[in-house]
Structure 1
Amino acid sequence: MSEQPFILHLTERSLWDAARERGAYEMSTRGRTLQEEGFIHCSSREQLPKVGAFLYGSYDGPDELVVLVIDPALLGVPLKYEAPEPGGEEFPHVYGPVPVAAVVDVEPWS
C-alpha cells in the first residue's frame, strides 16, 4: 500500500461509471475536464467537506455523488500539492488521467 495518505475526488456516479468502462478517470472538477484544466483537483479527507460544499452545495442533479479514494502510489502520473494562491492551503493535483486501478474505494457522499 501507499506510504502517502489517500487522496479524494468528489464526482458524479455516472462520470465514474464511464471512467470504469474506459479504464481511466479524466474529469478535473465539476463541469471541467482534465484537458481543460491541466490537472485533476483532489483533496484530503479534512478538505473534502469544504470542497464538497463549494462545488456541489447547490447540486440537485439526477446522479448521486461519490467520493473516489485514490492511492497515490498507483497513479503513474505526477501528483503535486499546490495552493490556489501564494501562501494558501495546498491541495493535491493529479497531472494526468487517474487509472481505474488507482481508485481503491468509492464512497457515497451525503
Structure 2
Amino acid sequence: MIYHVVPLADWDADPGRPYAPASLAEDGFVHCSPDEETTLIVVDAFYRGAPRPLLVLVIDEERLTARCVWEAAEPAPPPGVPEGTLFPHVFGPVDREAVRRVLEVGWDEAGRATGLS
C-alpha cells in the first residue's frame, strides 16, 4: 500500500472520475509516501496549513492503471525522513477502485499530525 495526502474537499470534488490532484498537472505525477510514518512526517512538513479535515488515501499500488515509480525525493526528503527513502510517484490519475481505505489525520494541540484513523 502507498499513501497520498488530500484535503476532503479535493477528494470529494469529482467522485465519478479518477482522482487527479493539481500535482499531476504541475509535476507530472501524484505524490505518495511509502508508509504511515513517512506520511505523518510529510503532513507535518507540508500540510499543517492545509484545509481540514485532511485525509490520507491508502492506495493498492497493484490496482492502479497508471504507472507507479519509486524515486528519491528531490531535492531532499523532508526533515525526519531518512536519506535514501524512496517515494512512490503515480504518473497518472489514481483509480478510485485502487483506494482501499480513506483515513483522517489526527492533530495535537500544537498542530502536529499525530496519527491516522
TM tier relative to shorter chain: 0.7 to 0.9
Runs (4+) of structure 1 exceeding 6 A deviation are none
What's 1:95 paired with?
A: 91
How far has the Cα of 1:88 moved from its partner?
A: 3.2
Does residue 83 of structure 1 match 2:69? no
CA RMSD of aligned residues (A): 1.8
What's 1:74 paired with?
A: 63
Mapped contact 1:70–1:105 kept (Cα < 8 A) = yes
Supply the distance in 2 between the matched residues of 1:45 and 1:26 (Cα, whole angstroms).
21
**Alpha-carbon distance change, 53 to 75 in structure 1, aligned in 2, over 3 angstroms:** same
TM-score by length of 1: 0.80
Mapped contact 1:7–1:42 kept (Cα < 8 A) = yes
Does residue 9 of structure 1 match 2:26? no
Does residue 46 of structure 1 match 2:44? no
Mapped contact 1:24–1:97 kept (Cα < 8 A) = yes
Give me the identity figure in percent.
Answer: 39
Supply the distance in 2 between the matched residues of 1:107 and 1:65 (Cα, whole angstroms).
9
Unaligned runs of 5+ in 2: 76-82, 107-117
Unaligned runs of 5+ in 1: 1-5
Supply the distance in 1 between the matched residues of 2:39 and 2:50 (Cα, whole angstroms).
19
User: Which of residues 64, 69, 73 in structure 1 aligns to 2:53?
Assistant: 64
TM-score by length of 2: 0.75
User: Which of residues 11, 26, 50 in structure 2 aligns to 1:36?
Assistant: 26
Mapped contact 1:19–1:26 kept (Cα < 8 A) = no
